[in-house]
Structure 1
Amino acid sequence: MNKVFKQFEETMDIIQKLKEVPESQLTEAISEGKWSIREIVGHLYYWDKYNLEEMVPLMANGAKLPQFPNHDEHNEEAASYIKDHSVESVIKNFIETRKELIEAISKVGKDTRFTIGQGKRKFSDESFIKIFVKHDIHHLQQINKKLND
């Protein structure tokens, strides 16, 4: 497995360790007007769920995948979706969905190239996942900062 996929997989280990953190820390906003760690994990889960259901099944050579949804609306949907879920179930859902996503995208041929929305750039399974590795890193930094403050 290459570095990008390894990084994408490692996020599961980091999120799994959050089960050892007191729930009160996971449900408190990371800073004024920001999400809690629980909501960040739910946000990551919801993007994985979207990619697993809407993007990966369409990844074929020469395919034109849909444009990503409006980020603000998608993020609001994510917050609403996890609203009634416990921290434990949000973490569990994230890990299960990330595993499924990794398995599904690993079945996309290495030579498969596709575009997203109106874009001309050709993506591979790896360059697609790289977008979300960067996304993971951004949010994992927020989580680490909150837990180490």
Structure 2
Amino acid sequence: MIVAVKQNKVLDQFSDLLPWAENLKDTAQDLWLKPISDGKWSLREILTHIMYWDRNSLEMMVPNMSEGAALFFADIEKHNQEAAGLAQSYHSLDTLIDDLVITRRQLFVLLKEKYNNTEKFTIDNRNYTYKKFVQLFIHHDEHHRRQIEGFLEQEKV
């Protein structure tokens, strides 16, 4: 029972991105195409980047996570460039956020179904559990949330 509580806590934290992203529909409409600083991505690119990594996890990683599996992350630079390219196809912040939310919910459901923190596997020759994998993306989400929140706060002035 203790494992289930910890599991839900980690997965709940992973799903915290959903209401935050939905809230961006109200706060970022006129700023979503503006780079967050010189040489950096816009909100459109950052949100697509998050969604694209979720899609990779949904399609390539989580379905193959099992005891003893040897997995590999996508080439980070190439994957991020593909995400930035995909971002250009979004002409509406609401549509982008809807797609991000749908993808995150699908990934959340799959993780909830498969989550077994006793299973160990490797990714890029490093040891992982489901918890460690999810925490990696929670940290990734938090990094980008801080970037976006800082940008939106700066733009209020």
Task: Output the TM-score relative to the length of structure 2.
Answer: 0.87
Query: For the Cα contact (< 8 Å) 2:15–2:104, is it kept in 1?
Result: yes
Alignment match, 1:38: 44
1:142 to 136, 147, 155: 147
Q: Which residue of 2 aligns with 1:5?
A: 11
Pairs within 5 Å for 1:1-149: 2-65=8-71, 67-85=72-90, 86-110=92-116, 111-119=118-126, 121=127, 123-149=128-154
Tell me how far 1:22 sits from its aligned partner. Answer: 4.3
Identity of aligned residues (%): 36
The CA distance in 2 between the partners of 1:35 and 1:118, in whole Å, is 30
Over aligned residue pairs, what C-alpha RMSD do you find? 1.3
The one-letter amino acid paired with 2:106 is E
In structure 1, what is the Cα distance between the partners aligned to 2:28 and 2:61?
35
Q: Which runs of 5+ in 2 are unaligned?
A: 1-6
Maintained 8 Å contact 2:28/2:152: no
1:2: Cα distance to partner?
3.1
3-state SS, counterpart of residue 40 of structure 2? coil
* Alpha-carbon distance change, 109 to 41 in structure 1, aligned in 2, over 3 angstroms: closer
Gaps of 5+ in 1: none
Instruction: Write the letter of the residue equivalent to 2:67.
Output: N
One-letter code of the match for 1:7?
Q
Letter in 1 for 2:121: F
Q: Counterparts of 2:98 and 2:112 in 1: how far apart (Å)?
A: 21
Report the secondary structure of 1:57's partner residue.
helix
Between 78-87 and 93-102, report the one with greater CA deviation. Answer: 78-87
- Could you say what secondary structure the match of 1:115 adopts? strand
Distance apart, 1:23 and its partner CA: 2.1
Q: Structure 2: which amino acid aligns with 1:95?
A: V
